[in-house]
Structure 1
Amino acid sequence: MTLDQARQAYEASVFGGDPTGLPAAARGLDAIEAQLCLERGKLIHAAFLNERGDEDPAELALFERARELWAALGDPRGEGEATFWAGCFHQVVRDDDATARPLFERARELSQSAGDRLMLSYTLRHLGFSEHLAGRLDAARAYFEESSALRRALGFDAGVAANLVGLAYIAAEQGRPGDAAATLDEAGELAAAVGAHGIARLIAQARLELAQDPSTSNS
Structure 2
Amino acid sequence: MDERIEHARRLCHQAVFGGETDVLPVADRELDAVEADLTLIRGRILHARFLEQRISDERELELFQHASHLYRSLGDGRGEAEAQFWIGIYHQVVQADDDAALPALQRSRELATAAGDDLTLSYALRHLGIAEHKAGRLPAARALLEESTRLRRALAFPDGVAANLVGLGYIAVAEGRPGDARALLDEAAELAASAGAKAVLDAIDEARGAL
| Alignment partners' CA distance in 2, 1:169 and 1:78 | 32
**Aligned position for 1:173:** 174
| Alignment partners' CA distance in 1, 2:145 and 2:62 | 29
| Alignment partners' CA distance in 2, 1:39 and 1:203 | 28
Q: Aligned with 2:18: secondary structure?
A: coil
Q: Aligned with 1:15: secondary structure?
A: helix
Q: Which structure 2 residues correspond to residues 50-129 of structure 1 after superposition, within 5 A? A: 50-52=52-54, 54-129=55-130
* CA displacement at 1:2 relative to structure 2: 2.1
* CA displacement at 1:188 relative to structure 2: 0.1
**Aligned position for 1:2:** 4
* CA displacement at 1:49 relative to structure 2: 1.1
Instruction: Specify the code of the residue in structure 1 equivalent to 2:20.
Output: D
Q: Using structure 1 for the length normalisation, give the TM-score.
A: 0.93
Q: Which residue of 35, 43, 46 corresponds with 1:44?
A: 46
**Aligned position for 2:136:** 135
Which stretch of the first structure deviates more once superposed, 125-134 or 4-13?
A: 4-13
* CA displacement at 1:7 relative to structure 2: 1.6
Q: Which residue of 22, 28, 31 corresponds with 1:20?
A: 22
Instruction: Specify the code of the residue in structure 2 equivalent to 1:69.
Output: L
| Alignment partners' CA distance in 1, 2:93 and 2:19 | 51
* CA displacement at 1:168 relative to structure 2: 0.4
| Alignment partners' CA distance in 2, 1:47 and 1:158 | 20
Identity of aligned residues (%): 56
Moved over 3 A (4+): none
**Aligned position for 1:182:** 183
**Aligned position for 1:215:** none
Structure 1 unaligned residues grouped into runs of 5+: 212-219
| Alignment partners' CA distance in 2, 1:14 and 1:32 | 22
**Aligned position for 1:35:** 37
| Alignment partners' CA distance in 1, 2:177 and 2:42 | 41
* CA displacement at 1:20 relative to structure 2: 2.8
| Alignment partners' CA distance in 1, 2:52 and 2:145 | 23
Instruction: Specify the code of the residue in structure 2 equivalent to 1:27.
Output: R
* CA displacement at 1:77 relative to structure 2: 0.3
CA RMSD in angstroms comes to 0.9
* CA displacement at 1:86 relative to structure 2: 0.2
**Aligned position for 2:155:** 154
Structure 2 unaligned residues grouped into runs of 5+: none
Q: Aligned with 1:135: secondary structure?
A: coil
